[in-house]
Amino acid sequence: MKIAFFTETFLPKVDGIVTRLTKTVQHLVEAGDEVLIFCPEGAPSRYMGAEVVGVPAMPLPLYPELKLALPRPAVSEALERFAPDLVHVVNPAVLGLGGIWLAKTRGLPLVASYHTHLPKYLEHYGMGMLEPLLWELLKAAHNQARLNLCTSTAMVDELAAKGIQHTALWQRGVDTELFRPELRSQGMRTRLHGGREDTGNLLLYIGRLSAEKQIERIRPVLEAMPQARLALVGDGPYRQQLERHFEGTATTFVGYLAGEELAAAYASGDAFLFPSSTETLGLVLLEAMAAGCPVVGANRGGIPDIVSDGENGCLYDPDDPTSLIRAVERLLGDPARRSELRQAARQEAERWGWAGATEQLRAYYRRVLGQRELQLVA
């Protein structure tokens, strides 16, 4: 198959969407497919055997990490040369809308996927009143597609309830060869502690430092548990506010890590905290579980698809201010139970490889292409 992706986010940005895309492209190419990627400029011209077309872009004022790329004639020309069998638009916004238009005007089968719960982000940026309008815009864009893929059952249900048609689940995936418990090390723990005493209660957050991640919810845990230490791995537009918020606490801002350093950080924590209640999936939770780090996540969105409370991690109620504290105390308070959760978390992660997720996606593509053939025959 020849697949053209339009995505609003790609390398060098680091987030769960980019991780899924890079792993998907790798496995598509290994399976013999040809891939063309349209994305904001800044990415390499080729990635894992796929051609990448960078489109000039400008940062979104409220969220400078997200760049908006405006389609231009060169995009249409590159698509024409590639002659794809199918177009896949990832999180359609600006460049993605161009991809939708190009697919529709050329009669190309269109698949869209939903990864970022943008309507729920609005309230964290003081624009909650725009949520109904954004849902209408998303519905208009996604309903151009023959198939709309979501990364959790909660998002499949929510999009369907909002009037978005032809929804289906695109299963999760994680690199269990990179993220593994064996990378736990005292050296990494020392780095994560930032010079503080190791009390055996190292809390870890890895991901983007942004308002919608609700990282500030972790501070009451530190206040309730004086022996706890917190390491925040990553960076983002909310870092300065978080530095002020966590001032006076045992918190280390580590910055970005990648590769085996990142995997070692996951493996070296005593508990991974993910307070966000706006996640469509929460890929970092799967990475933590693969590394054998017990997790605490919100009982909201896509997270319950990954975390089974008391079996492979702990869930907390984001509407209850004390629930996160109780969940962390429950996890850290029993070393034997924590060890059992580590093992169960790793076992759960081992069920979800990127190869399987990509083969499921290829089956979806074949189904959409089959629908096209039936329409042509009819």
Q: How would you list the strands of the sheet with 271-274, edge to edge?
A: 251-255, 229-233, 202-206, 271-274, 295-298, 314-316
pLDDT band at 282 (very low <50, low <70, confident <90, very high): confident
Mean pLDDT throughout 264-292?
93
Residue 113 has pLDDT above 70, yes or no: yes
- Look at the chain and report how many structural domains it folds into: 2
| pLDDT at residue number 72 | 86
In whole angstroms, what is the distance from residue 6 CA to residue 23 CA?
Answer: 16
pLDDT digit string, tens, across residues 72-95: 899 999 999 999 999 999 988 889
Both 226 and 341 in one domain: the answer is: yes
Same domain, 148 and 73: yes
**Total-model pTM:** 0.86
62 and 87 together in one domain? yes
Q: Which residues contact 268 (CB under 8 A, 6 or more apart)?
A: 183, 184, 185, 188, 189, 192, 202, 204, 293
pLDDT per position as a tens digit, 304-345? 999 999 999 999 999 998 999 999 999 998 899 999 999 999
d(CA 81, CA 84): 9
* Same domain assignment for residues 245 and 230: yes
Mean of per-residue pLDDT scores for the chain:
92
According to the model, what pLDDT value does residue 117 have? 67
What integer pLDDT is reported at residue 92 of this predicted model?
A: 87
Q: Pick the residue with more confidence: 59 or 301?
A: 301
Residues 308 and 371 in one domain: no
Question: Which two three-digit tokens encode residue 208?
Answer: 């983007």
pLDDT in tens, 124-149: 566 667 777 878 999 999 999 999 99
Q: What CATH number does residue 6 fall under?
A: 3.40.50.2000
Q: Return the minimum-mean-pLDDT range out of 184-193, 216-225, 333-342.
A: 333-342
Q: Are residues 84 and 190 in the same domain?
A: no
Average pLDDT over residues 209-226: 95
Domain ranges, residue 37:
2-173+353-377
- 24-69 pLDDT, tens digit per residue, is 999 999 999 999 999 999 999 999 999 999 999 887 766 666 677 8
Element (H, E) at 68: strand 63-69
Co-location of 357 and 345 in the same domain: no
Q: What is the C-alpha to C-alpha distance for residues 228 and 236, in angstroms, rounded to an integer?
A: 24
Question: Where do the H-state alpha helices sit in the chain?
Answer: 16-30, 73-82, 95-105, 118-121, 131-142, 153-161, 186-193, 219-224, 239-245, 259-268, 283-290, 303-306, 323-332, 335-349, 354-377
| DSSP state letters, 22-44 | HHHHHHHHHTT-EEEEEEEBTB-
Say what the pLDDT of residue 2 is: 98
Q: Are residues 250 and 310 in the same domain?
A: yes
**What are the helix and strand counts (H, E) for the chain?**
15, 16
User: Rounded to whole angstroms, what are the CA distances from 245 to 235, 248, 362?
Assistant: 15, 9, 45
The whole-number pLDDT of residue 280 equals 75
Q: Are residues 359 and 329 in the same domain?
A: no
> Which has more confidence, 316 or 212?
316
Q: Are residues 168 and 29 in the same domain?
A: yes
304 shares its domain with 318: yes
For residues 141-164, average pLDDT: 95
Q: Say if residue 219's pLDDT is above 50.
A: yes
What pLDDT score does 378 carry?
46
Same domain, 195 and 328: yes
